[in-house]
Chains A and B, each alone.
Chain A
Amino acid sequence: MLTSESNVQVATLDEMVTTLEEVATVDGRVARRQRNRIAVLDAVVVLFEAGNTEPAVDEVSDISGVSSRSIYRYFHHRDELVRAAMWHLMARIEPQMELADIGEGSLDDRIDRFVKHRLAVFAVLAPITRAARKVAQSLDLGSEEFEAGRLLFRQQFLDHFAPEFATLEGQALTQAVVAAELAFQFDSFEYLSMSFDGNVDEMGYLLVRQLRILLVVLR
């Protein structure tokens, strides 16, 4: 049931993109409007990535070349703008969220690739997640924007390490999966990044070591 929910999210995203493309070819004015919208969202993402968690409409306007008045017409308030920017970024990075060759190779090889992948995803998602959290209470980590990503990641994790988890069931399985996923939560990356002054090699070393300790025991 959880998996099907995440599929619904992905489908909606695809639909949105398709609809945008269809609409763009129909009417020049609508096309311009869509171009402007995308320029605005790109600008918000750029500002977030630069560490600006509270971009002013003027700044968004400067970068996107879209007038403040139009920005207000497209997005009624900040919350809406930030949500739209999150969806926009997620759609853009969707290919990067996928883990190649799931479940293939030796345990060490799978652990290595998994850790590298998650570190890369974190690097892309961190700026916007920090910004989004700052903007609104309604965008907490239980919100659907995050929930979709979380479910996708859990499924990926389970598939990638299916041989190791195969021997477990029920409460033991839940406990093992939750334990192994602790280090891969967004805030854990923040904590590790802080602990190692942003040194990605050390973060990777710790995560590989951590997964190996946990997964080898299961065998």
Chain B
Amino acid sequence: MTSELMMPESVEIRTDGRIDRRLRNRDAVLEATIQMFAEGEVMPAIEDVAERVSVSLRSVYRYFATREELIRAALERWLLEETPHLVPPPPIDGDLADRVEYFCAQRLALYFRFAPLARVALVLDGTDPMVREIFEYGRESLRQQFAAQFDTELELLGHRDWAIVTTAATLPLQFHLFEYMHVGCGFDAAQMHDLIVEQLHLHLSAL
């Protein structure tokens, strides 16, 4: 048993340099792909990635059989790196205006941070279980953050109204509507900010 386990190790020691380089190259390919995602490229071509890291096309295809495989691997790595930033900060104290302001600014920053990643995920496959899970997590944490931050305003509501108000007020903060405002209607961050702040005020002051 012990000797069997030893065998591959000794082999590995002999080829260490090659394996090392191979892993380094694979790593560089993934990092370059992520870099291209961040620059707004949704489906980078393998040729472009290879050129950027100065690795031969043949090598890249040795690490990743297809473009989809490469993009999926890069997306998974990017998600692992970014996931900690998806966790919303704790609620703050203050009057309604302060809390609305803080909440909206935080959600908007989150959108701009995650938009390139979300776009890649959606183009890759919006129905993929991993992708669905991330969006599901995003929606749920938005709901919880909203409930915690506006506890005072929501606490008097019955079950039905609570669900209606929470759903309605968090609607403009959904990813697809940020995309609609920013990409579809050409709104900049300041216009988006004004719009969601006003929406949230309307919803909360109507209570």
Contact = CB atoms under 8 A, between A and B. Distances in A.
Interface of A: 53, 133-134, 137, 141-142, 174-175, 178-179, 182-183, 185, 187-188, 191-192, 195-196, 202, 205-206, 209-210, 213-214, 217
A137 B123 contact: yes
Majority secondary structure of chain A interface residues (helix, strand, loop or mixed): helix
Contacts of A134: 126-127
Given A209-B164, A210-B168, A182 B202 contact: no
A131 B185 CA distance: 25
B41 to A, nearest CB: 14
Interface of B: 43, 123, 126-127, 139, 163-164, 167-168, 171-172, 174, 176-177, 180-181, 184-185, 187, 191, 194-195, 198-199, 202-203, 206
Given A202-B164, A214-B202, 6 more contacts: A134-B126, A174-B185, A178-B195, A183-B168, A196-B167, A206-B164
A195 B177 CA distance: 16
B123 A217 contact: no
- Interface of B (DSSP majority class): helix
Contacts of A179: 172, 195, 198-199
B29 to A, nearest CB: 23
A165 B43 CA distance: 41
Contacts of A191: 139, 171, 174, 176
A183 B167 contact: no
A175 B123 CA distance: 29
